[in-house]
């Protein structure tokens, strides 16, 4: 069985049906540590030292690294689980010259032109892994610290391997513009099942961010989306992200809408018809979405596609481990 992850390299590991992990070289970054309360369901990584005088130079170095040129050339990288030398080209649909805020539920991916909160709270993630500049998607989530975003676990950590570096979030990104600034991560979180087993059913992560250059927290700058913790169920969702492959160039926010169905193969994730491609990883699934206001409730994140079904994307459930992750992250 093969699986296509929207961002990252995949490799087979004996005895596991689906084990997507990023292939990274040696790193001097700190190894994964359990969160403060030694919760085995959540793994925490402190990106910078906590002393403000020392953290500021680190933050500035990350901001200086992400020039417009580097952001423009950052690419999501994917390979096949069963053949790491191969590629699965996602067949691009006809290039669309129109956009519609309410597409049919056939899996078509359309530019989001409806504005509202989702256009501000959804953004692009830029990071370095294995010496490469990569991109994902993420969303600001309601949190006490007004500084927390949610994404896919593989957009923060390579499964059982190393953590991403130079991790930044740009809310409202469009054609290289950063209307609300760039927010540098100071703490990264993934589920224990992702960190220890690269479990696709738990491919969820969160990042706690420094304020932007104007000393404004991300949720204070753009707002946030609510989050729902629940078991998988059939529901109608809107999925948002920045696809960057095929007919997409990663420069605009796209979305799909439709019903979810349970994964009947090997995970507890749910699937929905959607033609978004790599780069949309980590983007939010929103339930109870109001197109007029752009508000909804995050019920999952874009995670993976099976190689033999490029028209269905899957998102893991936001269960008790994600609830505990959120509780820890929002207090940082």
* 95 occurs within a structural domain: no
Q: How many domains does the chain have?
A: 1
Residue 271 bridge partners (DSSP): 261, 314
Place of tokens 């605009």: 252
Q: Are strands 42-46 and 33-34 parallel, antiparallel or unpaired?
A: antiparallel
Residue 96 lies in a domain: no
> Which of 1-10, 70-79, 122-131 is the least confident region?
1-10
Residue 260 belongs to a domain: yes
The 10s digit of each residue's pLDDT in 212-245 is 999 999 999 999 999 999 866 778 999 999 999 8
Dump the DSSP string for 103-148.
Answer: --SSS--EE----SHHHHHEEEEEEEETTEEEEEEEEEB--TTS-E
CA 264 to chain centre: 23
Task: Please check whether residue 202 lies inside any domain of the structure.
Answer: yes
Q: What is the pLDDT of residues 135-161, one digit of tens each?
A: 999 999 999 999 999 999 999 999 998
Total count of residues recorded for the chain: 332
157 within some domain: yes
Q: What is the pLDDT of residues 168-193, one digit of tens each?
A: 999 999 999 999 999 999 999 999 99
pLDDT for residue 80? 26
What CATH code is carried by the domain that includes residue 52? Answer: 2.40.10.10
Its pTM stands at 0.83
| pLDDT confidence of residue 49 | 47
Domain that holds residue 260: 33-75+104-332
| Residue 183 lies inside a defined structural domain of this protein | yes
Residue 266 lies in a domain: yes
**Domain assignment of residue 112, yes or no:** yes
pLDDT of residue 3: 60
């Amino acid at each position: 069985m093969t699986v296509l992850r929207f961002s990252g390299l995949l490799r087979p590991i004996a005895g596991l049906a689906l084990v997507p992990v990023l292939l990274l070289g040696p790193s001097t970054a700190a190894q994964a540590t359990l969160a403060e309360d030694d919760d085995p369901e959540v793994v925490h990584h402190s990106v910078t030292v906590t002393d403000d005088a020392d953290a500021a130079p680190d933050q500035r170095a990350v901001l200086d690294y992400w020039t417009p040129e580097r952001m423009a050339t950052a690419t999501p990288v994917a390979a096949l689980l069963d053949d790491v030398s191969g590629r699965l080209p996602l067949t691009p649909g006809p290039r669309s010259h129109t956009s519609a805020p309410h597409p049919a539920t056939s899996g078509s991916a359309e530019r989001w032109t409806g504005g509202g909160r989702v256009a501000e709270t959804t953004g692009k993630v830029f990071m370095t892994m294995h010496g490469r500049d990569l991109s994902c998607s993420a969303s600001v989530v309601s949190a006490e610290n007004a500084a927390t975003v949610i994404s896919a676990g593989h957009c923060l950590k390579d499964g059982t391997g190393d953590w991403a570096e130079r991790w930044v979030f740009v809310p409202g990104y469009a054609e290289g513009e950063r209307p609300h600034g760039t927010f540098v991560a100071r703490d990264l979180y993934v589920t224990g099942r992702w960190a220890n087993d690269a479990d696709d059913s738990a491919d969820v992560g969160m990042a706690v961010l420094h304020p932007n250059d104007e000393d404004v927290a991300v949720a204070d700058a753009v707002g946030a989306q609510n989050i729902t913790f629940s078991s998988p169920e059939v529901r109608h969702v809107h999925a948002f992200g920045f696809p960057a492959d095929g007919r997409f160039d990663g420069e605009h926010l796209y979305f799909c809408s439709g019903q979810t169905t349970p994964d009947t193969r090997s995970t507890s994730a749910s699937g929905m018809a959607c033609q978004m491609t790599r780069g949309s990883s980590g983007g939010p699934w929103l339930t109870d979405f109001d197109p007029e206001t752009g508000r909804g409730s995050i019920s999952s994140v874009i995670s993976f596609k099976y190689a033999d079904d490029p028209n269905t994307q899957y998102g893991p459930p936001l269960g008790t481990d994600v609830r505990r992750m959120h509780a820890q992250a929002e207090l940082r």
